[in-house]
Amino acid sequence: MLEGALVATSGAPASVWIYWGSTDGGENADAWEHVVALGTREAGLVWTEVADLAENTTYYYRLFASNSFGGRWTGTSVRFTTAFETPSVKRNGLVLWLRADAGVQHSNGWVHAWADQATDVGGANDAAAVGNSRPLFVPEGVDGRAAIRFDGTDDFLAVPDHDALDLGTGAGKGWTVLTVYLREKNGTQYIVSKGGPESDKTDWRLFSEDAGVVWGSGASSDSNAWFRVAEPPANQPHLLAATLTQTGETEGTKVFYINGQPHPSGLYAAKASANDHPMVIGGFAASSGNLGGLVAEVLVFNRVLNEDDLNNAGWYLQQKYGINGAFEYRAPRGTLLQLR
C-alpha cells in the first residue's frame, strides 16, 4: 500500500496523484515509471494498492496534489524494499536463523531481543541483550536491508546454552555457519561464537582480526583448528560461510568461503569439546572482543551442507544483500522428463 496525507486544501477541491517506480523521479512527473490518479480528495489520508512488485527490489513513491491555488509535491519520496523469498534455503538441520528483517524487538532502535526463525528447534534459540549492552537496529543497514549495528565497545547479544548449538567432538559430525557482516573498526572482533574466550574452549567461532578472519574450533596452536584467511575489505558487506567435517574424535577438515570463494584447510587435530557457554553475536561479553560493525543474518546448520544446498543458501544471501560473490543458484534436481 502506498499512502500519504493531504493536510489541507484551502477550501478548494484538490486532485491527487501517486507517482511510483524503481527509481526516484523527484519532482519531475515525467521521470516516474508509474502514476496512479486518485481523483478529487478532501483533506486526510490518501492511498492506493499496487501489485506485481518484484521481490528484493527497492521502490520509491511520492504524492502530488493540485487545485486552483497551485500544485505541490510531498517534501521527500518514500523508499521501501520488497520482501525476499527464501525457497533456496533448506530447513533440515537448520538450528539457528537470525535475520534482521524478522523477529527483531527493540525500543527506539535499541535491540533487546532477536527471535530465532529456525524450525528444527521451534525458535528455542532466541538472542537477547544483557543489561545495557544493546546494539542498534538499522532498518537500511546493509544495501537497503535491515541489520544490527554493534558499537565495538560493549554491545553483544547472547543465546542461552542449548544442545542444538553444541558441535563438540566425535567422528562423523558436521557443521555449517553462514553470516553476512560489515566491519567498521579494527581489532579482534567476534561475529558469532559458541565457547569461552580461550581458543581451546571454543566449540566454534567466526571472528575478525587485523590479520584476517578466523574459523575457529579449537586450540590456536593448531593452525587448522584456528583457521585464518585474508580479511576482506572493511566498510563493505561480506558473506562468510564455514563448514567443518569431523573425521575423528578431534580431527577433521574445514572449508572457509569468503564471498563464495573456497579456502580449504588442512587436517586439524585439536577440536575443542562442547561447553555450556551461551552463543554470542557481536562480542563475547561487554568490553570483550566486541564487533564494531553490522550483522544482518546468521544461519547455523548441524550438518555440512552439500554443494547444491550451500550454493543456494549463499546465493540467497548474496542476492539479498547486494554482495558480488561466487555462489550460484542450483535448480532443484528431480525427475527428468523427455518430450519426444
In this structure, what CATH number is given to the domain that contains residue 27? 2.60.40.10
Longest dimension (CA), the chain: 82
State the total domains in the chain. 2
Q: Are residues 222 and 76 in the same domain?
A: no
* Whether residue 17 sits in one domain with residue 152: no
d(CA 281, CA 102) in angstroms, rounded, equals 16
The pLDDT of residue 6? 83
Q: Domain of 124? A: 94-321
Question: What is the reported pLDDT for 340?
Answer: 34
Please tell me the predicted confidence (pLDDT) of residue 88: 67
Predicted pLDDT at 339: 40
Ranges of the chain whose pLDDT falls below 50: 334-340
Domain co-membership, 53 together with 100: no
DSSP line for 81-150: E-----TTS--TTEEEEEETTBSEEEETTEEEEE----TTTTT---EEE-TT---EEEEEEETTEEEEEE
234 pairs with which residues across the strands? Answer: none
Same-domain pairing of 10 and 150 = no
Let me know if residue 164 belongs to a domain: yes
Exposed e or buried b per residue across 67-106, where buried means at least 16 C-beta atoms within 10 angstroms of its C-beta: beeeeebbeebeeebeebeeebbbeebbbbbbbbbebbeb
